[in-house]
């Protein structure tokens, strides 16, 4: 269900350190499909000698044990791309659908099979049907779209996956005092409550309740705009480029183009340290 197609995200994606210890007693089957069937030739799980050939953009790994594995894909020449899976189900079949590559990391567009979330490269992912139709829940912001029209929310309920929240012109973003806030003022780590409609694994926000801190940031941004119109106002301090990090984004709509290394990326805002 994540990342949401068509939404350039800024924020942070969490890449966990590999841990290949076997922690579960079940035997899992991993099935996967590539968004671009020619993007990879082989796939294997670290710690296993067997390499599986990707045929017609699909692969199947059987007898996977443990709750954490790292998959590696060959992506042309000696290049390898990795995907880290954590909290795997204890047996059954897990499907990784629409896998695409960016910056030597592999991301599935959707996850199918087990209802409980699986952590993929630090994002909790699950079947789209586990998202309730009527959503009203608290959570923490993981990433925000550059134009503020979408965000990734980690629900406080660990049984739910991270959610793509779509913010439309009809969505109301405000504080508990009723002060309206621009959605692009939200940052990584902000806590909020979202109410809306769950649809196709996404949430269409009707209302987003944010903290006073977000409203304060909005006021500061307005002051910066006013000062920029004053020829005698001091120039704002430049934000160091080192504070800007990249977030996982969706592949281009054309499956035959641009899913190679380093494409489809937007500038990102990491851990709330600055905005471009």
Question: Does residue 224 surpass a pLDDT of 80?
Answer: no
Q: Does an H or E element contain 199, and which? A: strand 191-199
| 127-254: CATH superfamily | Copper binding periplasmic protein CusF (2.40.50.320)
113 closest CA partner among 157, 71, 64: 64
The class level of CATH for 17-121 reads: mainly beta
Report the distance separating Cα 215 and Cα 96, nearest Å: 39
Q: What average pLDDT score do residues 69-89 get?
A: 90
Residues 6+ apart with CB under 8 A from 147: 184
143 closest CA partner among 45, 3, 11, 35: 11
Q: Band of the pLDDT at 75, cuts 50, 70, 90? A: confident
Reduce the DSSP state of residue 183 to 3 states and report it: helix
Domain coordinates in residue numbering, the chain: 17-121, 127-254
Question: Does residue 214 surpass a pLDDT of 90?
Answer: no
Number of H helices, E strands in the chain: 1, 18
User: What pLDDT score was predicted for residue 12?
Assistant: 41
For residue range 198-209, list pLDDT tens digits in order: 987 789 999 999
SS (HEC) of 18-60: CCCCCCCCCCEEEEEEECCCCCCCEEEECCCCCCEECECCEEE
For residue range 256-266, list pLDDT tens digits in order: 444 444 444 44
Report the distance separating Cα 68 and Cα 3, nearest Å: 20
For residue range 125-136, list pLDDT tens digits in order: 998 888 889 999
Q: What's the length of the chain?
A: 276
């Amino acid at each position: 269900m994540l990342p949401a197609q068509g939404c350039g995200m800024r924020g942070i994606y969490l890449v966990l350190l590999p841990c290949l210890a076997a922690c579960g007693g079940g035997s899992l089957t991993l099935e996967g499909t590539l968004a671009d069937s020619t993007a990879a030739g082989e796939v294997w799980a670290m710690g296993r000698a067997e390499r599986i050939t990707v045929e017609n953009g699909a692969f199947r790994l059987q007898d996977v044990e443990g709750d954490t594995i790292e998959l590696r894909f060959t992506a042309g020449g000696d290049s390898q791309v990795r995907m880290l899976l954590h909290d795997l189900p204890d047996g059954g079949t897990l499907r990784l659908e629409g896998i695409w590559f960016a910056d030597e990391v592999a991301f599935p567009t959707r996850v199918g099979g087990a209802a409980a979330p699986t952590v993929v490269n630090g994002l909790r992912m699950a079947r789209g049907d586990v998202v309730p139709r009527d959503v009203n829940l608290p959570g923490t912001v993981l990433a925000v779209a550059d134009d503020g029209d979408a965000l990734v929310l980690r629900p406080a309920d660990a049984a739910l996956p991270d959610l793509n929240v779509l913010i439309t012109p009809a969505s109301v973003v405000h504080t508990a005092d009723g002060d309206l806030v621009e959605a692009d003022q939200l940052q990584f780590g902000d806590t909020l409550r979202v109410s809306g409609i769950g649809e196709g694994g996404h949430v269409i926000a009707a209302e987003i309740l944010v903290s006073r801190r977000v409203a304060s940031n909005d006021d500061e941004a307005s002051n910066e705009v006013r000062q920029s119109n004053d020829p005698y106002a001091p120039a704002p301090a430049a934000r160091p480029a080192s504070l800007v990090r990249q977030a996982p984004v969706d592949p281009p709509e054309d499956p035959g183009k641009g899913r190679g290394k380093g494409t489809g990326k937007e500038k990102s805002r990491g851990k709330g340290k600055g905005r471009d």
